[in-house]
Structure 1
Amino acid sequence: MLGCMEYGHVMVRYGEIGIKSEQVRRKYERLLVKNIEAMLSENGVGFNGVSRERGRIFVESRDARAAEVVSRVFGVVSASPVAVTGTDIKEVCGMAAEMGRDIIGEGQSFAIRARRAGEYPYTSQEIGRICGDAVFEAVKDRNPRVDLKSPDHEIFVEVRDRSYVFSEVVKGVGGMPLGSQGRMVALVSGGIDSPVAAWLMMRRGCNIIPVFFNNGEFSDKAYTERAMDAIKKLKEWAPGHNFKVYEVPHGDTLREFIGRGNVKYTCVFCKHMMYRTAVEIAKREGAHGIITGSSLGQVASQTSDNLMIEHYMIDFPIYHPLIGFDKDEIVALARRIGTYDISVRPASCCRAVPAHPSIHGRLEEVKRIEGEFDVDGLVEKELAGTAVTML
């Protein structure tokens, strides 16, 4: 917890970007800066500028919320409110001592964590030792202790073109800058899983095109509202990036299938038709793949047998970022990203789900059943009735 010191900047650290080639790293840094500026602006955090330095990005802002808001930007590993001073060792020690007076209480322990980037007449170890002495002297009336293993407080000193002193590190979401990996269609139902799957691919740099399949008479208005609210929550993680949301009428397709019998394959056919329509939307949008919330074995349509059948004749990349996650892991992520409370709101379950769905479907049988339908015609009908909105 920070005390009374004023912090005029936020130091932003990134991870994977730093191991890219020089050309790619600069490109991703510029994109990360753009996304940081958008996140700050959308959250009403005032700032005077965002600058790049090799390995670091700096936000000039006195808003106490700045580091926390920046930590929500994909690609940010951590952020810290920092006090800035020169590189003269006396200035650095003075700032460290001031911070010590601000945060170290009676009988508490502390440690100095120092590093430098560049050539200076002192080593990182010397910076740590000299600043440690200065801090100890500044708070000696409080009976401080030095503890390098498990201190009550850590004071970080980083000497670059300027020197930065800080004590708080806000963990970021990591990943890659949003927009660095192209666009993908994300199937979002409003349940717990699919928004998390979309978020994970956003975290890897993908802009998403949310697609919601409205089951019409087999669901209710609350189900649709839940899905749209989940999409809006995902949009909060993507300031500066528009969402083009597709709402596809899927009820007629389900009714036609159920009316022909073979209801045990309803869930398999439903997902297969979703893929067929989603592929056409992806082609229209120039997207690179389709994202689903499937987790292996979680429900009838997600057994290995049925996943194979659902992918039949789908000549397009399909991504299942949750495939190896269990439900507890998915719920924890949903809580973290803010979609969980939306996804568990009361709404009807899909009324098209049969009492005894097939969990070990047979491809030859599904091929036979599908041969009874005008699949292309059903896809065209869904596309014709699709509503598109911008967020």
Structure 2
Amino acid sequence: MAKKTTKRAQKKVAAKKADATKREQAAAPKTKIRYDRILVRYGEMALKSDVVRRRMEDRLLGNIRSGLDKMQIKYVLHKEMGRIFVETRQIEETVGVLTHIFGLVSVSPVQTRVIGSSLEKIAETAERIGRTFITSKDTFALRARRTGNENFTSKMIEREAGGRVQDATQARVDLDNPDKTLYVEVRQNKAYFYIEEHACPGGLPLGTQGRVVILFSGSVDAAAAAWLMMKRGCTVVPIYFESSPYTDASTDERAARVFETLREWSHGNKMSLRRVPHGKALFMFTEECRDEHLDVLSKRQMLRVANLIAKQEGARAVVTGDNLNQNASQTLENMAVVDRASELPVFRPVLTWDKEEILKLAQRIGAFEAATKEVKPAPRSRRSFPAVRLEDIEREEQKVDVKKLAEEAAEPVSSKTSS
């Protein structure tokens, strides 16, 4: 009798497990979401005046087309108020391009449905999509955004569509910290459904803020400084100072590899690495001038060359990767002396950053591995002064024809161009 009771109990337990399994299978994801386009968001330029915003939007659209064309992606591009849509079947590749375009805030692959003014169609589609990725073990939230003059509000969408998803999946609602989130954006009789946002760099469209030249060594500081100027819409012309015979091929290779990384962010703009000789100037300074002034003398000479190239390029400023007090030429006093050699403004985007912050940015932009490679450095002062006097530096420069050296270095040489 006891054995029969045990068997019946076992059968009940087995039946309950089978029912639970069926419910889980019913609630489990069955198919992937079929994305048909990408919703593109941009931020800061939307706050500009109408004339400026239109100019920036046109440039942004051109940069997007350039990036997609370069990757041979088939697409249809169109813009609405505050949004851009890219219709394509190559979702993953397109997201890869868009996340490297300045001026964009974020992108989301979306599934589109024409809804007219029907809240029921929104709820029906939300339920169907919810079944594909939300299970009964998950917590979830449904977030809605509506623009235009529909006969329902965002809260009504969240309440109606969220209720349908909950009934279909048996998942618990958690608006504060959900496991899964379904987003709905309604505009112009269409609803766009998505479950993820991919961050973009933000800033302003590349090419909208003029040209700058940058002293570019391929270091993490130089890479970060260049990228930050690009983020603010500047076309950057990197100048690499070849210091042979003091440096070797490893130094050249580092600069080239980091430059290639920056090119991946230059959609819509031609970007060239300008190589100029600096070895002769270093030789003259080491032979004719006091050693403790070498760092400042070398940096001032680089600025002279950069000013000449800036005129050739139509650039309006010089950029450096200087980081306050990182070395002798980057103290506040010595930077003031260095800047006196430049007619153009000198910008230092990472001046106040901690080194850890610079390294994190280098990782984000993909330059960390190449930029941190060990290379043979150019000669430095054996005993540096943290606060040189301008009159002392100018006296040392009289021993060398710095103007002629700068003019020789700034003569057009080999460059590597991308589009």
Q: What CA distance in whole angstroms lies between the structure 2 residues aligned with 1:30 and 1:134?
A: 41
Residue-by-residue CA offset, 1:263-313 (whole Å, 9 max, x unaligned): 111110101000001001001111111111001111111111110111114
From 102, 105, 121, the equivalent of 2:132 is 102
Per the normalisation by structure 1, the TM-score is 0.95
Is 1:50 paired with 2:77?
yes
Is 1:114 paired with 2:177?
no
Shift of 1:34: 1.6
Three-state SS of the structure 1 residue aligned to 2:165 is helix
Shift of 1:388: 3.0
Q: Is the 8 A contact 2:37 2:111 kept in 1?
A: yes
Q: Is the 8 A contact 1:196 1:293 kept in 2?
A: yes
Q: What CA distance in whole angstroms lies between the structure 2 residues aligned with 1:81 and 1:313?
A: 50
Shift of 1:246: 1.3
2:159 partner amino acid: R
1:81 partner amino acid: P
Q: What CA distance in whole angstroms lies between the structure 2 residues aligned with 1:388 and 1:42?
A: 21
Give the structure 2 partner of residue 202 of structure 1: 230
1:149 partner amino acid: D
Is 1:357 paired with 2:384?
yes
RMSD: 1.6
Three-state SS of the structure 1 residue aligned to 2:245 is helix
Q: What CA distance in whole angstroms lies between the structure 2 residues aligned with 1:112 and 1:135?
A: 9
Distance 1:132 1:384, change over 3 A: closer
Identity of aligned residues (%): 36
Residue-by-residue CA offset, 1:81-106 (whole Å, 9 max, x unaligned): 11111232122112111111011023
Counting only pairs closer than 5 Å after superposition, residues 345-384 of structure 1 correspond to structure 2 as 345-350=373-378, 352-384=379-411
Shift of 1:36: 1.7
Residue-by-residue CA offset, 1:62-115 (whole Å, 9 max, x unaligned): 223133431221111111011111232122112111111011023211111111
1:210 partner amino acid: P
Three-state SS of the structure 2 residue aligned to 1:239 is coil
Segments of structure 2 that go 5 or more residues without pairing to the other structure are 1-28
1:63 partner amino acid: Q
Shift of 1:328: 0.5
From 157, 164, 174, the equivalent of 1:147 is 174
2:36 partner amino acid: G
Per the normalisation by structure 2, the TM-score is 0.89
Q: Is the 8 A contact 1:68 1:79 kept in 2?
A: no
Q: What CA distance in whole angstroms lies between the structure 2 residues aligned with 1:385 and 1:56?
A: 43
Give the structure 2 partner of residue 340 of structure 1: 368
Shift of 1:48: 2.2
Is 1:17 paired with 2:17?
no
Three-state SS of the structure 2 residue aligned to 1:256 is helix
Q: Is the 8 A contact 1:198 1:208 kept in 2?
A: yes
2:204 partner amino acid: M
Q: What CA distance in whole angstroms lies between the structure 2 residues aligned with 1:236 and 1:67?
A: 14
Give the structure 2 partner of residue 91 of structure 1: 121
From 238, 250, 260, the equivalent of 1:232 is 260
Three-state SS of the structure 1 residue aligned to 2:77 is strand
Three-state SS of the structure 2 residue aligned to 1:4 is coil
Say how many residue pairs are matched.
386
Counting only pairs closer than 5 Å after superposition, residues 32-71 of structure 1 correspond to structure 2 as 32-44=60-72, 46-65=73-92, 66-71=94-99
Residue-by-residue CA offset, 1:114-158 (whole Å, 9 max, x unaligned): 11111011111111111111212222xxx3101111111111111
Q: What CA distance in whole angstroms lies between the structure 1 residues aligned with 2:311 and 2:398?
A: 24
1:303 partner amino acid: T
Q: Is the 8 A contact 1:249 1:385 kept in 2?
A: no
Segments of structure 1 that go 5 or more residues without pairing to the other structure are none
Give the structure 2 partner of residue 217 of structure 1: 245
